[in-house]
Structures are given as C-alpha cells and as structure tokens.
Amino acid sequence: MKLLTANFLTCAVKGCKAAASSYPLHFKDAELELQEVDFQPEFIHNIIPRIDWEGLRVMANELGFPKIPDSKPEGDALNDEQTMRDLHRLLLETHVVEGRLCCGNCGHEYMIKEGIANFLLPSHLGKTKNSIVEIRVYADGFPL
C-alpha cells in the first residue's frame, strides 16, 4: 500500500469517523518496500493540494522517515524538482507490504498482507440495524 493511499483512509467503524483520533491510522510492524514508478511531476503537482499534510507528517514520522517539511509546498516550491522527486518517492514509491493499520480511537487493527490492506470488520463492529424483510429469490435456468 502506498503512503498516498493511506492519506485517504480512516477507520471503517462508523462511530470512529467523527473522532479526530481516528485519523490518520497508525502503522504497526510495517515492512516497507520501494517500488519504482515513472516520475510524473505533473501528477504530484496536481495532487499535493489534496494531501492532508499533517496526516502525512504523522505517518512519515511514525515510519521513521527523515522529517518532511512543516508545511505543504506551495508556489515556487512546487517547481522545485528535488521536492517533487522526494514527494514522488514518499507518496507513490514507498509501499507498506506487511503490517497493521491501527485506529487511534477504537484500537481496531487492520491487517496488511502482500501490500493489500483489509478493512472488513468482524460482524459485531460492522452491523447496521435492519428490519426483518421477506424477499423471494428465483433460481433461473442456465442460459449459457
């Protein structure tokens, strides 16, 4: 999972969405891998305005990366190739391949296996109230 992806994830538990401590999620026992991708400065340039910078700083710090700038690059800084390359590496090329993502509010942990994070909840956490309804299901013949 890319760090860019993690910037747009939070706890899947409904009640956690409103809690400030549910974002960002916290990596635990993260195994990192560098996966090279073509450098597209335009792409980085365009998505920077949409990054939650504080969330990214917290994650980068917890993963042990050198400190990233205090504030989001703006204006001329967006034309600086080294800054764009650094962010490309951090956001798109740095992958968490194994580990867990933990919610700071409810403590639930989501597993990351072979680069895919699994946000399915155990049934007691994901339940939504539904009335009992009757539906009829018809099995069709095989049309093929």
Partner 1 sequence: MASVTFVPSQEEEDAYEEENVHQVYQQIAHHFSSTRYKPWPIVKQFLTDLKPGSIGLDVGCGNGKNLSVNKDVFIVASDRSENLARIARSHQPHSTVVADILSLPHPDSSFDFAISIAVIHHLSTPERRVGAIREILRTLKPASDTVPGGKALIYVWALEQKDSRRGWDKGDQQDRMVPWVMKGTASAGSEPQVFHRYYHLYQASELEQDINDAGGYVLDSGYEKDNWWAIAVRSGPESS
Of residues 70, 48, 72, the one with CA closest to residue 61: 70
Mark the segment that binds partner 1 (CB under 8 A) among 36-44, 59-67, 68-76, 78-86. 36-44
Does 58 interact with partner 1 (rule: CB under 8 A)? no
Q: Per-residue x/- marks for partner 1, 113-142, CB under 8 A?
A: -xxxxxxxx-x--xxxxxxxxxxxxxxxxx
Amino acid identity of 18? A
Does 34 interact with partner 1 (rule: CB under 8 A)? no
- Considering only 34, 50, 66, 76, the residue that binds partner 1 (CB under 8 A) is 50
For residues 45 and 78, is the Cβ–Cβ distance under 8 A?
A: yes
For residues 64 and 131, is the Cβ–Cβ distance under 8 A?
A: no
Amino acid identity of 4? L
- Considering only 30, 92, 96, 105, the residue that binds partner 1 (CB under 8 A) is 92
Tokens for 63?
């993963």
Does 21 interact with partner 1 (rule: CB under 8 A)? no
Can you tell me the distance from the alpha carbon of 86 to that of 132, in angstroms, rounded to the nearest whole number? 54
- Considering only 74, 81, 107, 144, the residue that binds partner 1 (CB under 8 A) is 144
For residues 111 and 118, is the Cβ–Cβ distance under 8 A?
A: yes
The phi, psi pair for 76, rounded to 5°, reads -60, -35
CB of 107 to partner 1, least distance (A): 15
Instruction: List contacts with partner 1 (CB under 8 A).
Output: 1-2, 4-5, 8-14, 17, 23, 37, 40, 42-43, 45-47, 49-50, 92, 110, 114-121, 123, 126-144
